[in-house]
Structure 1
């Protein structure tokens, strides 16, 4: 499959609810994302932040934190296991 966020193909993909289910997006639009992109999004942002300001692929791609990640991940092999860590910003928001 091909990730709709990073564009890599041959990766394992999952369904990402553009508005998180817990924020009312259970029946809303979704995107097919590779596991690395999906994990990175949820490591960087709270569900509330995703629902308020990052609820489209365009908004995600334009966000500075994801842009930096996408620049890096696009250079990685589709078979590479990628570790993600939580953002210090997200930890402070809790």
Structure 2
């Protein structure tokens, strides 16, 4: 029986690693909980598309985590100072949300409302 070439062995190993990775649950980089297939999730543009981030990096987040980001911050804030996961996790207000959501099941979802301060800042002056 002929021995397989090193190239074929490497290709088979890479294919096996890709298959294993596809079976592993995704991890939300914000709350660090698994994202099971049945959980609501979405892709977050680290730099908002409206601010030039169409072809820049994205991350897969639980929908509740994604909604929490956009309920708290404007597109300008996200583009200028919160355009990576570490900066988002370091924000005090979002850190409180993360601590709370980490106590929930990985498939937990609830509606997210805009913060009172942000809602008030969007209202036109009388």
1:93 CA displacement: 3.6
Q: TM-score, normalised by structure 1?
A: 0.90
What number of residue pairs does the alignment pair up?
A: 94
Which residue number corresponds to residue 22 of structure 1?
50
- Does the 8 A contact of 1:16 with 1:38 survive in 2? yes
Give, in whole Å, the separation in 1 of the partners of 2:59 and 2:121: 25
Contact 1:18/1:29 (8 A) holds in 2 = yes
Rg larger for:
2
CA distance in 2, matches of 1:4, 1:56: 10
Q: Corresponding residue for 1:68?
A: 96
Q: CA RMSD in A?
A: 1.3
Alignment counterpart, residue 78 of structure 2, candidates 37, 46, 50: 50
Which of 67, 86, 94 is the aligned partner of 2:114? 86
Question: What TM-score does the superposition give when structure 2 sets the normalisation length?
Answer: 0.69
Unaligned runs of 5+ in 2: 1-25
Greater Cα offset, 21-30 or 5-14: 5-14
The match for 1:2 is 27
The whole-number CA distance in structure 1 between the counterparts of 2:104 and 2:71 is: 19
CA positional deviation for 1:30: 1.2
- Cα deviation, 1:5-51, whole Å, max 9, x if unaligned, reads 10111243211000100011001111111111001101111111111
